[in-house]
């Protein structure tokens, strides 16, 4: 049975422990991290995750599977992490390596210790090692964990492990996972070689190499042109067992940084396929002559296409709206909807990239603030977007009356409301609720009428008009001269 060596280095223990006449200074309101140990996590700023947290710290419907040794689930920084723990080999007993890699990704922002890079996603922790501080497992156990993680809904799998030998069973599990849309991230190895370990060397896997705080390749990091992304892996502070904090070196530390960043990407757009993630990484800027990019979480998020988008001006003055663009990413398994709201009241459903009118329930909508809400789903994940607009209805409430034929009047209203028709003595001849538009009313066209429109929209004034029958002048008698 092929053995897979754990990729890590030696851990070093760290003990716990206004003038009105002048303009004023204004600052951006970003996410503030209050973790006592975050200043020792140089990698947080180096990879731009501190800026990315203002956009997202992860979505709870994104699942990351950490296939490693057992994480210390009783560590204060892991205690309240949404998680499932699984042991594929023996008891789930806390181990340094699994605890450290888990902390890099999942450490809670709870003002206790460190700041995990993606604290709000859901984690599945899998133990695949034989016992505490053991550095080897077998590929079939890892394959079993991969299959289980996929079956339990993992979106991303982190493999901070590897070996020299290829195994078809583990390779098949990884290929099946990729085919089902699961992203696989693996560390390249710590053997100072110019070739990377299995399974990182598979084309279906995102291979991660290590750099230091000065952006130099780590001396121990295995590297070849299959490594498309690197992340800090030298002097990395994270969690140790028994509520401690430790520094570790290794590509094992770099891989979960990439995994956490991609978890934030998937939190924004969960419908991205592994191939699209590969393309996203490939488009990231690279240093001259380098075949790899350095991880930058913020740049990844900025380049991530939103699954649903609304483009609209902030103010509308037209009742016929044709300058709103509603778009959804082009994936066949996605369904979407767009809805216009006034406050919490649903006004109408909109069709993507089609003009619409501000006409609803028989009337032109009143001036005020409206909101378009878009939703997209694949049946598993839902994502929303919204746009608030101020609508200015320039159409005034008006009513007019004219004779269409003998004994019939035509009444036209611009707004919905109750129409009352009075005769010359003030007696009600007709009264009914009408939508905006034109309708006939029977009556004596030789008599004076008063027409009153009381709008349903109480913000509009009552308007009145009248009908005066035409004065028919008698022709003088014709006389003949004899």
Catalytic residue annotation:
68, 97, 252
If DSSP codes are grouped into helix, strand and coil, which group holds residue 338? strand
Question: What does the DSSP assignment read for 428-457?
Answer: EEEEEEE-SEEEEEE--TTS-EEEEEEESS
Among positive and negative, which fits the CA dihedral 283, 289, 294, 298?
negative
**DSSP class of residue 478?**
P
d(Cα 177, Cα 149) in Å, to the nearest integer? 9
d(Cα 385, Cα 378) in Å, to the nearest integer? 16
Q: How far is CA 473 from CA 213, 256, 374, 444, 479, in A?
A: 102, 97, 65, 19, 18
Angle at 59 between CA 309 and CA 176, to 5 degrees: 95
**Spatial contact of 127 and 86, defined as CB atoms under 8 Å apart:** yes
Phi (first) and psi of residue 176, to 5 degrees: -65, -40
**Spatial contact of 80 and 288, defined as CB atoms under 8 Å apart:** no
Q: Say how many residues make up the chain.
A: 482
Closest residue by Cα to residue 371 from 336, 323, 338: 338
Contacts of 111 (CB under 8 A, 6+ apart): 34, 35, 36
**H helices of 304-454, where?**
none
């Amino acid at each position: 049975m092929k053995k897979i060596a754990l990729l890590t280095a030696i851990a070093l223990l760290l003990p716990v422990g206004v003038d009105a006449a002048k303009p004023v200074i204004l600052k951006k309101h970003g996410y503030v991290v209050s973790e006592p140990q975050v200043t020792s996590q140089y990698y947080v700023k180096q990879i731009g995750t501190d800026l990315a947290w203002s956009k997202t710290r992860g979505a709870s419907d994104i699942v990351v599977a950490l296939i490693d040794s057992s994480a210390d689930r009783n560590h204060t920084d892991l205690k309240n992490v949404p998680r499932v723990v699984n042991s594929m080999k023996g008891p789930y007993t806390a181990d340094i390596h699994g605890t450290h890699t888990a902390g890099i990704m999942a450490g809670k922002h709870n003002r206790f210790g460190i700041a995990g890079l993606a604290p709000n996603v859901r984690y599945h922790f899998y133990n695949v090692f034989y016992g505490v501080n053991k550095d080897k497992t077998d590929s079939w156990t890892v394959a079993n964990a991969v299959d289980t993680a996929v079956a339990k809904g993992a979106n991303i799998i982190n493999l901070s492990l590897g070996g020299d030998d290829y195994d078809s069973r583990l390779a098949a599990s990884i290929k099946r996972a990729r085919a089902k849309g699961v992203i696989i991230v693996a560390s390249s190895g710590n053997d100072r070689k110019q070739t990377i370990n299995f399974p990182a060397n598979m084309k279906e896997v995102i291979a991660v190499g290590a750099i230091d705080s000065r952006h130099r390749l780590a001396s121990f990091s295995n590297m070849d042109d299959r490594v498309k992304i690197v992340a800090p892996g030298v002097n990395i502070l994270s969690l140790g067992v028994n509520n401690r904090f430790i520094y570790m070196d290794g590509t094992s530390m770099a891989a979960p940084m990439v995994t956490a960043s991609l978890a934030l990407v998937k939190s924004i757009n969960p419908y991205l396929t592994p191939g699209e993630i590969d393309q996203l990484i490939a488009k990231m800027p690279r240093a001259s002559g380098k075949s790899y990019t350095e991880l930058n979480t913020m740049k990844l998020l900025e380049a991530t296409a939103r699954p649903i988008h609304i483009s609209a001006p902030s103010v509308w003055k037209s009742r016929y709206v044709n300058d709103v663009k509603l778009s959804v990413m082009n994936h066949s398994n996605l369904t979407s909807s767009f809805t216009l709201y006034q406050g919490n009241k649903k006004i109408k459903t909109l069709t993507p990239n089609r003009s619409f009118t501000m006409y609803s329930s028989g009337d032109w909508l009143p001036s005020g603030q409206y909101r378009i809400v878009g939703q997209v789903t694949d049946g598993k994940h839902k994502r929303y977007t919204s746009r608030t607009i101020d609508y200015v209805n320039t159409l005034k409430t008006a009513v007019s009356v004219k004779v269409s034929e003998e004994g019939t009047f035509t009444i036209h209203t611009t707004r919905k409301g109750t129409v009352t028709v009075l005769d010359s003595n003030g007696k009600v001849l007709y009264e009914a609720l009408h939508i905006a538009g034109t309708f006939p009313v029977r009556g004596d066209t030789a008599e004076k009428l008063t027409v009153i429109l009381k709008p349903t929209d109480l913000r509009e004034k009552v308007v009145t008009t009248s009908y005066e029958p035409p004065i028919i002048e008698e022709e003088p008698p014709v006389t003949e001269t004899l």
